Amino acid sequence: MELGLAMMVLALVWSIFRDEVLRYQLWLGTALYGLPRPAEPVQVKVADYVGAFLRLLLFLPGLVTVLAGLILR
């Protein structure tokens, strides 16, 4: 159950600081893959969608883990 709570908190913190995380994602893409700087609007939108998808992948399984832990007690 603690793992589920940790996943949910991480998704929440990521949501709060999503602009900083997005800037870091774009900087990392520029450094590793030689993407143009400044990033094109399409690249920013795709990076934002990837971040939203990863936040969902953290939050939903965390919620299921917490609920399963509460139900199976």
Domain count, the chain: 1
pLDDT in tens, the chain (73 residues): 999 999 999 999 999 999 898 888 888 888 888 877 777 888 888 888 999 999 999 999 999 999 999 999 8
Domain of residue 44 covers: 2-71
The predicted model scores a pTM of: 0.77
- Encode pLDDT of 33-42 as tens digits: 887 777 788 8
Determine phi and psi for 31, rounding to 5 degrees.
-70, -45
Over the Cα atoms of the chain, what is R_g?
16
Contact 14/58 with Cβ under 8 angstroms? yes
Distance CA 50, CA 28 (A): 14
Contact 62/7 with Cβ under 8 angstroms? yes
Contact 22/48 with Cβ under 8 angstroms? yes
